[in-house]
Amino acid sequence: DIIFSSDVYFASDHLFDESHRGTILALFRQPIDRLVSKFYYLQTATWERTYRPEWKDMSLLEWAEKVNGDENFLVKKIVGKKL
C-alpha cells in the first residue's frame, strides 16, 4: 500500500505503530530553483488564479528584493516553525 501525505507527523502518529511500520520517501525541490520558476511562470500563466502581469517588467533581482514573500508551509513544518 502507498499513502501520499504532506503531513508526515499526522501519518506517523495515526497510521503506524510497532506492528504496522512504514517507510518514508521524501522528494524536495531546490528552494531557489522553485522560486525562480515561480517568478517566470506567474508572469505568463494567465489561466492561474495567482497570475501576476505586473511581474512582466520586473527583473528577477528586483522581484526577490521587493516583492517575494514566499511562505512555503511544508518547509516551515519540516523545520518546526509556526505556520
Which pLDDT tens digits describe the chain residue by residue (83 residues)? 777 877 777 877 888 888 877 777 778 888 888 889 989 999 999 999 989 999 999 999 998 888 877 777 776 777 777 76
For residue 69, count CB atoms less than 10 angstroms from its CB and return exposed for 0-12, middle for 13-18, buried for 19 or more.
exposed
Give pLDDT, residue 76: 72
Using alpha carbons, list the distances in angstroms from residue 69 to 50, 60, 66, 72.
13, 14, 9, 10
Residue bearing cell 530553483 = 33
Give pLDDT, residue 83: 64
Q: Is the pTM of this model over 0.95?
A: no
13: which residues sit within 8 A by CB, 6+ positions away?
Answer: none
Longest dimension (CA), the chain: 57
Give pLDDT, residue 71: 74
